[in-house]
Structure 1
Amino acid sequence: MRRLSAHERALWARVAASVKPLPGKRAPEMPVAAIAVPAAPAAPKAKPPSRPAPTSALAKPAVPPPKVAKPHPLGAPLDGTWDRQISRGRLFPDRVIDLHGHTVVDAHATLSSAILANDGTRVILVVTGKGRPDRPARIRAELMHWLERPDLRSQVASLRAAHPRHGGGGAFYIILRRAK
């Protein structure tokens, strides 16, 4: 057996102060410093039947916080048809933009011109690359920031990770809004 540390004694004192003894019983007078905790349990004991925990003024009922729907980062979410097509590998892009080997500035200009072209394209596959631990993918890191800009955000309906056949973690589908 070992003695309780100062932190453990203070914690025990707070717990003991919050507990009321059963009716007809009184709390045992035990000095806090003399309480010892076994170093390792000898054998598992039978679990007593569960009873509801006593409520006290300090204990508050655990109420989960209400779930608040997060707004989709790029406009309203798409219907399930899009996600099913993507997950099954049946979504085929209208245009493919491979940004490997581009500078960040050149990649941004290429992507912006493709999105703003208004040529009837609905799905653009953007291949950014996954990066490596020694050389992170800077274009991939900047992609979300570019799409959040006001000039491009109004054109983009959604951004989704690409299916493995189209590049997986190193590529994205940009789904454009329908032209009005």
Structure 2
Amino acid sequence: MAGRRLDADERALWARVIASVTPLVPVRTKDDPVVPATEQPAIAPRRGRNIVAPSPPPSPQPRPAIGETLDGSWDRRLTRGAIIPDMAVDLHGHTLDSAYRLLDSSLDRAVRSGARVILLITGKPPRADLRGERPMRGVIRAAVGDWLSASRHAAHIATVRNAHPRHGGTGALYIILKRDRCAA
């Protein structure tokens, strides 16, 4: 957006404002030598205060991520409901704490036994009432994703997918574990 031109008094006032400002980051002219970023000095003191250049944020620690891809045959079998779970874990009737403990112990058992597919039954969310309000998602179902990604077994989980209707549909999840390469 183009602005109006400044008159002589406004230009003089603006020049005084610019002269009184000390930039936080020094402005480089084309005559200044290029200094590598690792050798850049801290920002110059401003009005008697020492201003230290902010340090870059710490890089996040890599966590074992739960993958989002499987090969095509797995995807087709999951979509058709042709998967037969090796074990099922039903979290109905549990509190958050007891559901977490049951899920953790079940994952431990599944990893040790070499299971590949766990059917995790969380329960379907409540239906919308007649007023058309959206149903609230169950608290256990909402917490499962965080539990799995922060789990001590996260490195063993290949992916998590919604279950086929014959296995519970929206009320259940498939947890696909990675194949144990040492046992093969």
TM-score normalised to structure 1 length:
0.56
In structure 2, runs of 5+ residues without a counterpart are: 2-64, 129-134
Code of the residue aligned with 1:172 in structure 2: it is: L
What is the aligned counterpart of 1:125 among 119, 126, 129?
Answer: 119
In structure 2, the CA distance between the partners of 1:138 and 1:157, relative to structure 1 (3 Å rule), is same
Name 1:175's counterpart in structure 2. 176
Q: Identity of counterpart residues, as a percentage?
A: 45
Distance 1:77 1:86 in 2: 12
- 1:177: how far off? 1.2
Q: Tell me the amino acid that sits aligned with residue 145 of structure 1.
A: D
Secondary structure at the aligned position of 2:152 is classed as helix
2:103 aligned to which of 106, 111, 116: 111
In structure 1, the residue matched to 2:28 is none
Counterparts of 2:81 and 2:150 in 1: how far apart (Å)?
29
Structure 1 contact 95–123 (Cα < 8 Å) conserved: yes
Structure with the larger helix share? 2
* Structure 1, unaligned runs of 5 or more: 1-13, 15-72
> TM (normalized to structure 2)?
0.55
For this pair of structures, how many residues does the alignment match? 111
Amino acid across the alignment from 2:98:
D
Aligned Cα RMSD in Å? 2.2
Within a 5 Å distance, the mapping from 1:84-163 to structure 2 comes to: 84-117=76-109, 118-132=112-126, 136-163=137-164
Structure 1 segments (4+ residues) deviating >4 Å? none
Q: Is the 8 A contact 2:86 2:115 kept in 1?
A: yes
